[in-house]
Structure 1
């Protein structure tokens, strides 16, 4: 069995372990050989699983000569070991867990940082001067609010149509610049319930995706339309990854595990999709972006409070209301994503994930994108990103772009 096949097998085993412990497999997508599908893999004692991961790590270091491919896989293996340790009783402090999963340093934001983010939002948000910023945010969100049956209709109708437009923009503004193309069998939009997240891209293989939106939440129409760019870029990354698997024979690319350095770049590129497509922001879209940034920052602080400092849940909810300017229902809903445990007492596999979005964009993807744009190297930027999927990790990103 080769390195790629061994990687699929071990990812499947770790995924089965995480599903047993948390209800969710860390295998986010699979389009590889049928006989190596994750759900077909045996479970094994934890010490044997760790030993197999260590053994594969040694083989990768000994046999793979391409630096970026080797470092990518070594980083993935390290993250998988951390997942196993975390979910089988390892006493790992939250900051160390985030660092070892995603290969980034944990960061949080000062009160001054939050004040500045609120001030920027205050500048952009119209309203009566007698109203507080929080009151104006609530009014803005209420005006554009969609929920229930209206939300389901929007997801299955207007969002589906908008996704086709975004797909065409990627072809016209990115793929044509790259001088390459990829099969795109499209994205289906689907309303779902009972999830800790608001939206999710499920890459299906065969060059297609399902984008799910949680109708337990209410959305702002402007924000929801903007999310299409983020989710469609996830789909685009999956397309190029699948193409590389078929054309290059890199079997390890046919499985997509969560909670690795890949996620940092994946969320960073998705959050930079508007810039990739040269979408000019209206005043409304600038406002949406400012509110999104404030809420990402305060969610990171809330995650640190819950998981690192042991702050009581009610205090964290109040923090999200006062500093993140969320309504109480929204604050309580967002806690589900970052709380260390689910309501049934099992570990919440999403608890460390919140860092990937903000830092993936701001510490990795967007600064590199800006440099490439300034140096008229956009073609090479996109070819590096999409034609070499091994560049897409916090472990390999700087090495892959050291030509800039």
Structure 2
């Protein structure tokens, strides 16, 4: 495993006033640190820590009091006890209104659902996504996706299947292993520069970049508190040139790293809202986190800006032919429209409507993943269940919410920042 400490130089903010998009109509007095909400917040944190004793992947980040974590280890609360305590915490919220109370309620309801699942309750895909992530993905049949695949067929004429032709182009666009650090560093720097034009970050925020293997995901951010992250890039599979901007924005700037930094600075330290010192992976918070991280890519780079940056900076750094960039960008725009196929394949596979072999065939010929990526994707479905909706549905929900708040790029960034640093829940984005 290669560990690299980032050493990014400060980037000057544009000398302009940023718009204040705080929604005074929804940030009510009930969103203050009232005794009841503070009590429920502490109970919630302790319950999530207790759940972490039953599921090693449950607590994605924690930087609260070490004593609370130690107590969870020592007490080893049973799942039925966790459910009973969750019921009590939910009862305390009866009559509480405002965004903070709603967020606590949704997060506690997700704790309850996950506790049931760990005790053997089987939830269908849509019920799981509703109870854990506060959202349900639309359903599409194979014909819907095949119409999109036909557009890719027209873009890449030639012999072999569409999947073969896509993979033939991709094979020319793999970042060489000895170039990967330089390319990722450049992509992350570019994302940071764009983020700092609109979002002020605290002094000293930083991350360590690691290259790892044997993981079911392509990238991961482990937030450590005190404005520090560990960002891991999985090198089991080829890393294609477009993934540099995707991963850099998603995991670092303006994605997960920025999201967690803002929560710590604005809510945990700024307001004393302790519920944000912990992040349970299987919760509505994940849809906000993954959705904003994915939407942050297109917020940072318009299509034209991204093509220019990749063609002029990243392709040369990787030693790849810049002449391939325009067609590859066209391909990726079409492939993005296939994103919901992940949800439909996972739903059918986990239900048993698709065998493993049939799911792999869908992933190769419908989702157009390389064969090796398809096998890794099934690993992800097996491990994470309905979590997959948080990337595509979450992105669309975040985008729609942000773009309803204003028309200009500055207004979109302001709404994006507000979304990442306020207690909004996924279902509320639909009406916001």
Specify the TM-score bucket, using the shorter chain as the normaliser.
0.7 to 0.9
Match of 2:256 among 234, 250, 261: 234
Q: Where does structure 1 differ by over 6 angstroms across 4 or more consecutive aligned residues? A: none
Would you say the 8 A contact 1:183–1:239 is kept in 2?
no
Match of 2:415 among 376, 381, 384: 381
Quote the residue 1:291 is aligned against: 335
Question: What is the alpha-carbon distance in structure 1 between the residues aligned to residue 340 and residue 63 of structure 2?
Answer: 35
Question: What is the alpha-carbon distance in structure 2 between the residues aligned to residue 154 and residue 41 of structure 1?
Answer: 46
Would you say the 8 A contact 2:292–2:416 is kept in 1?
no
Match of 2:429 among 383, 394, 397: 397
Q: What are the residue-to-residue correspondences of 1:3-402 with 2, within 5 Å?
A: 3-19=40-56, 24=57, 26-37=58-69, 40=73, 42-62=75-95, 64-65=96-97, 67-122=98-153, 125=155, 127-130=156-159, 132-146=161-175, 150-151=176-177, 153-172=178-197, 174-175=198-199, 181-183=201-203, 185-232=205-252, 233-243=255-265, 244-279=267-302, 280-282=305-307, 283=326, 284-294=328-338, 296-339=339-382, 348=383, 350-362=384-396, 364-374=397-407, 377-378=411-412, 380-388=414-422, 390-391=423-424, 393-398=425-430, 401=432
RMSD: 2.3
Question: What is the alpha-carbon distance in structure 1 between the residues aligned to residue 59 and residue 220 of structure 2?
Answer: 14
TM-score, scaled to structure 2: 0.79
Describe the SS at the equivalent of 2:236: coil
Using the TM superposition, give the Cα deviation of residue 130 of structure 1 relative to its aligned residue in structure 2, in angstroms: 4.4
* Cα deviation code 1:2-52 (max 9, x no counterpart): 222211110101121112xxxx2x111111122123764632222211000
Using the TM superposition, give the Cα deviation of residue 110 of structure 1 relative to its aligned residue in structure 2, in angstroms: 2.0
Would you say the 8 A contact 1:302–1:320 is kept in 2?
yes
Instruction: Could you tell me which runs of 5 or more consecutive residues in structure 2 were left unpaired when the two chains were aligned.
Output: 1-37, 308-325
Instruction: Could you tell me which runs of 5 or more consecutive residues in structure 1 were left unpaired when the two chains were aligned.
Output: 340-347
TM-score, scaled to structure 1: 0.84
Question: What is the alpha-carbon distance in structure 2 between the residues aligned to residue 394 and residue 70 of structure 1?
Answer: 14
Question: What is the alpha-carbon distance in structure 2 between the residues aligned to residue 250 and residue 17 of structure 1?
Answer: 25
Q: How many corresponding residue pairs? A: 369
Describe the SS at the equivalent of 2:123: coil
Using the TM superposition, give the Cα deviation of residue 278 of structure 1 relative to its aligned residue in structure 2, in angstroms: 4.2
Question: What is the alpha-carbon distance in structure 2 between the residues aligned to residue 170 and residue 238 of structure 1?
Answer: 14
Describe the SS at the equivalent of 2:405: helix
Would you say the 8 A contact 1:72–1:396 is kept in 2?
no
Quote the residue 2:8 is aligned against: none
Would you say the 8 A contact 1:138–1:327 is kept in 2?
yes
Using the TM superposition, give the Cα deviation of residue 135 of structure 1 relative to its aligned residue in structure 2, in angstroms: 2.5
Question: What is the alpha-carbon distance in structure 2 between the residues aligned to residue 157 and residue 278 of structure 1?
Answer: 20
